[in-house]
Amino acid sequence: MSENTTTLDPVGFDPTQGLQFGMYSLGDHLPNPADGSRVSAGERIREFVGYAQAAEEAGFDFFSVGESHQEFFASQAHAVILGAIAQATSTIRIGSTSTILSTSDPVRVFENFATIDHLSEGRAELVAGRASRIGLFELLGYDLRDYEELFEEKFDLLNTINREESVTWSGQFRAPLNNAEVLPRPEQNPLPIWRAVGGAPASAVKAGLAGVPMVMAHLGGTTSSFKPTVDAYRQAARHAGFDPAGLPIATAGFLYTAPTSQEALQGLYPHINEGMKRTNGQGMPKQLFAQSVDPASIVNIGSPQQVVEKILHQHEVFGHQRYLGQIDFGGMPYERVMKQIETIGSEIIPAVKKYTATKEAA
C-alpha cells in the first residue's frame, strides 16, 4: 500500500528536545479528604489557570483540562477555561484533557478550539474522547445506546472540518452540511486533534487507521501490559498507509513525588481513594495502590529519582513523544499541587529531557 500523504505530527515534536512533559486535570471539584473542606467552584476554576501559569514557569510543555458534566466537577465549560488560560500564559501548549465529542456538535467544538488557537497564538490542541462518566448523555439529551456510533461519526466530521475549508457531509446523528464553511480557521493548519484511548487495543486501532495522534490514559497496571496497545496503533496506521514515525503518542496517568516512595504513597492515597469513590462509586484498594511504586508499574509515584527512572523505562518501551501527569486529583490542596509542579520542574523534567533527547542528525 502506498504511504498516505495526509499531514502527520501537526504538533511538530522535536526529538532533539527530548520527551515532552505535560500536566492534565480532569477538572474535578472534590473535598479534601483530610478535613472535608472544599473550595468554591469559582476558586477551583481559577486554580486551573494558576496551575497552567505555574507549569509554564516550571518548564512544562503542555497543560490541559478536561470536560465533565456531573457533581464534583467544575470544568463543564472547559473551552471557556482554556480561553482564560490562553490569555494568562504565553509559551506552554494548551488543550483539552478530553473533549467529550459524543455529546457535542463538532462544528461548535471546532469553532471553540480554533478561537482558543487564535487567543493563544497557535498553542491549542484538542483531545477527543468518548466519556468514561456517562451521566452527561441523559443531561445533554443523547441515547447511551448510541455511545460508540455517536463518537465515531462525530470524530469523522471533526477531522473533516479540520482538513477541508468547505465541508459537504451527511451522517446519522446530525443534520447534513452542504458546502459549509466553518470559521474561524485556526492559526495552526491543521489544528492538532488527538484521539483519547483508554488502553484497549480496539480504540487504538481506530486511531491508527484514521492516522491521528493517540493519547493513551491509564489508571494502573504494568508498563509492559500497555505495549500491545501501542503496537496495535502503529500497525493499524501502517496498514492504512500512514508512517507511524510521524504519528505522535502521549501517555497519561497519576503523578506524585515525595522524598521517599512511602511518603509518596501516604501523601497521594487518601486523595485517589476519595476521588475514585466520589466520581466512580468505588474506591482504590490500598494494597493495589501500594503496587504503584513498583518499577514495573506504569503509575509514576515515588521519589523524584524513581519517577525519572519509571518515565525513562516507559519511553524505552513505548517510544512516545509526550507524557502527561495528573497531579491535582481528589481534593489535593492548591499549595501542595503548586509544590508538586515546582519539584517536577526542577528535579524530574530536566533529567527526563536529558536522557530522552536525541542528537542532531549529522
Q: What is the reported pTM?
A: 0.95
- Cell numbers representing residue 337 in the block: 499541587
Read off the pLDDT band of 282 (50, 70, 90): confident
Q: How far apart are CA 78 and CA 83, in angstroms?
A: 9
If pLDDT is split at 50, 70 and 90, which confidence band does 7 have? very low
Chain mean pLDDT for the chain? 93
Q: Tell me the C-alpha distance between 67 and 275, whole Å.
A: 16
Give 361's pLDDT tier (boundaries 50, 70, 90): very low
**Which grid cell sits at 88?**
494568562
Handedness of CA 142, 274, 79, 130 (dihedral sign): negative
Strands 167-169 and 177-180: antiparallel
In the predicted model, is pLDDT for residue 335 greater than 90?
A: yes
Q: 314: pLDDT confidence band, cut at 50, 70 and 90?
A: very high
Whole-number pLDDT of residue 28: 96
- Rounded Cα distance between 211 and 193, Å, is 11
Least confident piece of the model among 45-49, 127-131, 231-235: 127-131
Task: Tell me: pLDDT of 166 over 70.
Answer: yes
Give the whole-angstrom CA distance, residue 358 versus residue 319: 12
The torsion angles phi and psi of 282, rounded to 5 degrees, stand at -150, 125
In which band, very low, low, confident or very high, does the pLDDT at 6 lie, cut at 50, 70 and 90? very low
The partner residues of 124 in beta bridges, in order of sequence, read 94
Q: What's the pLDDT score for residue 231?
A: 97
Strand partners, 251: 216, 323
Cα 4 from Cα 166, distance rounded (Å): 22
Q: Report all structural domains of the chain as residue ranges with CATH numbers, in order of start.
A: 15-356 (3.20.20.30)
pLDDT at 146: 84
